[in-house]
């Protein structure tokens, strides 16, 4: 059985994913006690955390960190999707 080490990129990626998940959960839990405008900000922050998590998964677990061209392509597509989700979320909150 392989011993887990902090120097392993997959271990660091897993820890980063857990930290981002905890942060997103904390933002979601704290949101109800905040003013209405803070809900939109909280949603944007949670979408930002999801975007970061997706980048970690693509780069580390799928190995795109070793393929710069594919990483840029997937990063651009992911960024466009995240931006579209953010715009739709903000429009839904405004209307």
Residues sharing a CB contact under 8 Å with residue 11, sequence separation 6 or more, in sequence order:
4, 5
Banded pLDDT at 84 (limits 50, 70, 90): very high
Residue 32 has pLDDT above 70, yes or no: no
pTM confidence score: 0.83
Q: In the predicted model, what is the mean pLDDT of residues 19-31?
A: 92
Mean pLDDT, to the nearest integer, of 40-45?
88
């Amino acid at each position: 059985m392989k011993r887990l080490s902090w120097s392993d990129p997959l271990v660091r990626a897993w820890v980063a994913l857990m930290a981002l998940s905890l942060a997103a959960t904390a933002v979601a839990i704290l949101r109800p006690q905040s003013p209405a405008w803070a809900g939109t900000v909280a949603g944007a922050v949670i979408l930002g955390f999801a975007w970061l998590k997706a980048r970690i998964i693509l780069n580390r677990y799928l190995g795109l960190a070793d393929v710069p061209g594919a990483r840029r392509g997937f990063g651009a597509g992911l960024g466009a999707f995240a931006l579209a989700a953010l715009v739709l979320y903000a429009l839904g909150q405004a209307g």
